[in-house]
Structure 1
């Protein structure tokens, strides 16, 4: 049974017509960077809830969530229309396995994401512990259009403070040939044809790499299957350490 706290909306950021972030204040239990919680609203006398990752690090006094407005969704259109000081339900306890305590130290940490799946990585990168645990962190973010990279300015600030440990690689699936520093296509294909690693200048292997996957379930499945079959990587489990960790929300 979910234990709920009532939060208050402090700020809303509208990035595009379909992407927005809400910032709220509430009393909840401690969480780890990379985890997610549940948000809910009372709609037609029924509590509608969905899982969303924290964008903020655990030490923040307010909590931020990055959301895609699904036109026919049961919750996101209502979240999109919230106003400052509106009330919202948030679960007191958080969940999720995308936390650094579950990942052994290694040379290179690959964070692969699509869309709002970048959320848990933003929380981890702002927590700073990651830069003590890995030599390089490669954030790969796949979006349709460059305008969809809502948190690019935040990541550039983190990158400046990371002592050259953070590499950011953007992948676009719609805008083609607008910037030579951007890759075009889909994450699994760009790993298979070697273009992603060539662009980044690092290789994914089972000796010095850990790959974290978050976002589209098909991206997760295809990428994990390829890395297991062709790079000898294995899924990271509670009872058996591996080098692929993934989180699925749907």
Structure 2
């Protein structure tokens, strides 16, 4: 199979100024929830591609990715200009091991995301695995502004379907909103406000934590978790937290 397959844009959503999702019809191979693909465009004589988490569940099509436009960047300003029917290149095979495949069951699964990293968790949440292996699933979405809290309808549908097994905790760092915690995820971890809101503790005995988002959040969260005795999860050495930071 070739490295790239041809795709066609079949859907586009502008969430805020600079925040987009696109849906692509492409014959990509099957994937596991939590994996990413690469989206590319031919720019001049170069094919420029970047990795993006898949938002859709493995059983669903079209493919969907969520991204921020990076002003002056080589790819995202062009991705944001795509229209329905435009061609794109998609990696033939998904990549990554940020999945639940080798994660041990626990009482609570914590999904910590900043910005567009929420996309990977939407794929995972739309599969059976988290609900079969964990008593509670807590999704924390850290953003700068309330407008960046995307996929509200999708999350409301998951909440309605899963009831008390699912909790969504928004955290906004640069604004205040009644329903959201105020501050960065790592500060809310340190202060205890996050666990107080969730009515659950993060510890090695009861928790698995997944981290996805900006590198500063992941670096600081790792230190906080390891200070509590949590060990990084590896495929052949199960641990208590997993991290993905290609974003």
Instruction: Give the shorter-chain TM-score range.
Output: over 0.9
Question: Please, what TM-score do these two structures have when normalized by structure 1?
Answer: 0.96
Q: Structure 2 matches for 1:10-21, cutoff 5 A?
A: 10-21=10-21
Moved over 6 A (4+): none
Aligned counterpart for 1:206 among listed residues 186, 204, 207: 204
Q: Which residue of 1 aligns with 2:239?
A: 242
CA offset digits 1:178-199 (Å, max 9, x no partner): 31x3111111111111111011
2:177 equivalent to 1:183: no
Deviation at 1:129, TM superposition (A): 2.6
- Structure 2 unmatched runs, 5+: none
SS state at 2:174 partner: coil
Q: Which residue of 2 aligns with 1:128?
A: 128
CA distance in 1, matches of 2:33, 2:148: 23
CA offset digits 1:57-79 (Å, max 9, x no partner): 01112101001111111101000
Q: Structure 2 matches for 1:91-102, cutoff 5 A?
A: 91-102=91-102
CA offset digits 1:89-121 (Å, max 9, x no partner): 000111112211021111100000000011110
8 Å CA contact 2:7–2:25 kept in 1: the answer is: yes
Give the alignment's Cα RMSD to 1 decimal.
Answer: 1.2
Deviation at 1:203, TM superposition (A): 0.4
Q: For this pair of structures, how many residues does the alignment match?
A: 247
Is the deviation greater in 143-152 or in 109-118? 143-152
Deviation at 1:2, TM superposition (A): 6.9
Q: Which residue of 1 aligns with 2:162?
A: 162
Q: Structure 2 matches for 1:17-166, cutoff 5 A?
A: 17-166=17-166
SS state at 2:232 partner: coil
